[in-house]
Structure 1
Amino acid sequence: MEFIYTEPIGLTDLAVLEVGTQSCLPDMSFGPSVRDMYILHYIHSGYGTYSTGGRTEPIGPGELFLVMPDTVHSYCADSDEPWRYSWFGFVGTLAPRLVELAGFTVLSPVRTADSSLSIESLFDNLMSLRNEPAKELLLTALLYQIFGTLAIPDDAPTLRADVGHHIRNAVSFMNTRYADRISLNEIAEHVGLDTKYLCRLFQQRLSMSPYRYLTDLRMRKACRLLRRQLLGIAEIALSVGYQDPLMFSRMFKRTIGLSPTAYREKAKLESGTGI
């Protein structure tokens, strides 16, 4: 195991406390325990499991998992192909918001990094900063870069170059706030436009309304959560911005053509995990 402990040197927005990398032995485990910081892991190779909140999730190469502060958790390397991972331990007033923008929640602490992004190379740079005189600042800058990369939605449609900055700002707002109860007025206010004009722009450039874009975005996120087979329907509804599971189920069926339960069963059969 290689690791670096750092001194925050007065940083309050985001401060890296430790980083490291480790090639684990078979069945090597950590926890159950509680930490007083966030710890973001990236899996370079091999496999293992992460357990928190009564759920255990298998994790493999190219995936990340986040340990939340003051939360009981444990993780264990696979007995046949144990993982090699790198990690950041960090705190700060901006940490909760950065974690949210990167797509992590208490209910969804695991995500896959898009293969087209440079996440692995960013984690590979950790130990090269060991002897740098300003390593605390450099590691913090690297963590910001990682969060900035993860904040790029991995399932949002690619926008044409001519859609304009107002629509791009509105889409970015929805991509990061889809789990909240946001309204058309909030979206329009965020981009500084009248609601009617914003709707007209969306219709002209994307051939849909902002409401339709937000609904489609939420349903894509829900499909991904349903395929992972980890959360109940009510939990998934909350995760994508619906307080009422019945309303979520109606919107899901209207958009996808199947009920959430039927979609989950279909995904289970297609993945070969069905009985």
Structure 2
Amino acid sequence: MSKSLLPHIASTFLDALLSSAFGEDMFRIYSCYNVTVPSSWRIEERVLEEIHVLYVKSGCLTYLINGTPHQLTAGSLLFLSDGTVHSAYRDLKEPLSILPVRFTLGSDEQKYAAKTEVPCHFSFRPRDTAKFSVLFETIHRYYTLTPSIRRNVLCHAAICQTLAEMSQELELMRQDTPIHPAIQHIKAYIDSHPAERLTVQDLAGLSGLTSKYCSKLFQQIYGLPIKTYQIKARIDYARYLLEHSRQSIKEVAFQLGYSDPFTFSKQYKSVMGVSPSKTGLRSGNSKFF
């Protein structure tokens, strides 16, 4: 029977799992998908030998664990250790898009270094759902690379970062750290207006806080300075435009307020790790000018 973990215990469990990964063993992905599932989707009762983590991009589904239903909505995260008996079904009212990952910890000679002593599970909805969406999409992007030692290392690193971020989020939940509503408002404004180039003073004015106090609170809560978060939001939006529109790099750069496409490309690469032209090629949009 799988044990349901409270946030502070789940955080400790993830930290221990990460500690096991600093040695000869690596996290190795068994399967990873970024998919919108059909209406017929369901999981009959099963027990996996791998760890199973899931991010819900949209829609709603329910996992049955130990006979207890766990409903997951958009932005929710699920963790199932190996040995957890579970089944699942979806809500048919809206499309369901998920990012499930199954992985093990072990060396080349040993599939799994140490089975979880007592199967366990937990689920939660993080405060910054966009961050975890990017983390899971990164895992999937690395998983689809051509098999190589580079791919293995990137997948291992992405799993480590995702588990560490989950642990951090659970620790903050344990501390019950309140989020100032004004800071939530600033983040929501940045997310919904990624092309705007407001100064920290302008954003602080929206919140009624001083710019110094506003900056301090924002970084404490979201782990990034406001300006850094603005750049990230802007580049995330740029990536969306490059992948889902026929706009050229030059057009996207000017739309987002860059003086020229070369300055935009430099900042894009520093955030995304690849040039915008590479993003355009992956999506079939190779227009530069």
Higher relative contact order (CA 8 A, sep 6+): 2
Q: Report the TM-score, using the length of structure 1 for normalisation.
A: 0.46
Q: Report the TM-score, using the length of structure 2 for normalisation.
A: 0.44
